[in-house]
Structure 1
Amino acid sequence: MSLTKKINYVHQNPVEAGFVFRAEDYKYSSAVDYSDEKGLLDDIVVFRMFDL
């Protein structure tokens, strides 16, 4: 499984469980950091996939 698929799987768990409508809305998720907003923690490393 690729890194992108793993990250999406983890971020979508609260959505599929019915806790939130969007992954970014879950307070304890790093999904908000991936949507170019600021999450709860500082210094979160966001993995980006680049086409070279």
Structure 2
Amino acid sequence: MKQNRPPRSFFKKKQVKAMIVWYIILLAGILILAWKMQDIISLFRV
């Protein structure tokens, strides 16, 4: 069941690129959230 068609590989490559972009966005979001939480904790401490 192998289909050697260039468009498929192109789509797969695009999908991988999109996944990497989403991963970077998610990672940045987690970092921002952690930083905000630290800020909130420091606010409560004072």
Tell me if TM exceeds 0.5: no
Normalised by the length of structure 1, the TM-score is 0.28
Larger radius of gyration, structure 1 or 2? 2
Relative contact order (C-alpha < 8 Å, sep 6+): which is higher? 1
Normalised by the length of structure 2, the TM-score is 0.30
